[in-house]
């Protein structure tokens, strides 16, 4: 009889610990919610290296950024605003706004943008903290390579301006 009570108490304690662990776990999507401002576009990896590679800048200028992102839904978005319901607003510097849906795929490391008018786009999340977001995607244009986009989280004051 006592052994049954001990086993039952142990089993209940394990169930309680598992429930506590799940209740206090944050998902990657939790950190993504909010407004993010684009900070930089750089090449993370280049497909080629030559004797002048130390002179080549990994920074992407405005013209190259335009060419790379011409067919992407993120074309001119400088502010990305993620909502918990799975919506995202892409704000451009010209005041334009685009509404789409987002989803995390894989182990939470693939950001997928879904738009009814365009094919889905996938971006690999390399860094996601409470105040920094870094995503990568591949390109074939010009100096081919992996493009790294870096974002910083915007405070609530900026959200009220929009």
For 1-19, write each residue's pLDDT tens digit. Answer: 788 899 898 999 999 888 8
pLDDT reported for residue 159: 45
CA distances from 144 to 35, 50, 62, 105 (A): 29, 13, 16, 25
Q: Which helix (H) or strand (E) holds 90?
A: strand 87-92
What integer is the mean pLDDT of 110-125? Answer: 87
Contact 94, 76 (CB under 8 A): yes
- pLDDT tens per residue across span 118-147: 888 888 999 998 889 999 887 765 556 788
Phi then psi for residue 109, to 5 deg, are -105, 0
- 15/42: higher pLDDT: 15
The residues pairing with 98 across neighbouring beta strands, listed in sequence order, are 90
> Is-above-0.85 flag for pTM?
no
- pLDDT tens per residue across span 71-98: 665 656 788 899 999 999 988 878 888 8
Q: Which two three-digit tokens encode residue 129?
A: 């903290």
Domains and CATH numbers, the chain: 27-161 (2.40.128.280)
pLDDT reported for residue 41: 81
């Amino acid at each position: 009889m006592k052994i049954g009570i001990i086993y039952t108490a142990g089993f209940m304690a394990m169930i309680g610990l598992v429930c506590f662990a799940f209740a206090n776990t944050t998902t990657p999507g939790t950190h993504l919610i909010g407004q993010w401002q684009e900070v930089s576009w750089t090449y993370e990896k280049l497909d080629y290296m030559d004797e002048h590679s130390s002179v080549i800048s990994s920074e992407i200028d405005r013209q190259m950024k335009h060419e790379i992102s011409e067919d992407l839904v993120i074309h001119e978005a400088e502010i990305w605003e993620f909502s918990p319901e799975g919506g995202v607003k892409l704000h451009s510097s010209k005041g334009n706004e685009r509404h789409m849906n987002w989803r995390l795929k894989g182990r939470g490391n693939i950001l997928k943008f879904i738009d009814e008018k365009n094919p889905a786009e996938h971006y690999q999340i390399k860094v996601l903290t409470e105040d920094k977001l870094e995503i990568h995607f591949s390109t074939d244009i010009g100096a081919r390579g992996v493009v790294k986009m870096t974002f910083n989280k915007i405070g609530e004051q900026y959200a009220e301006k929009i």
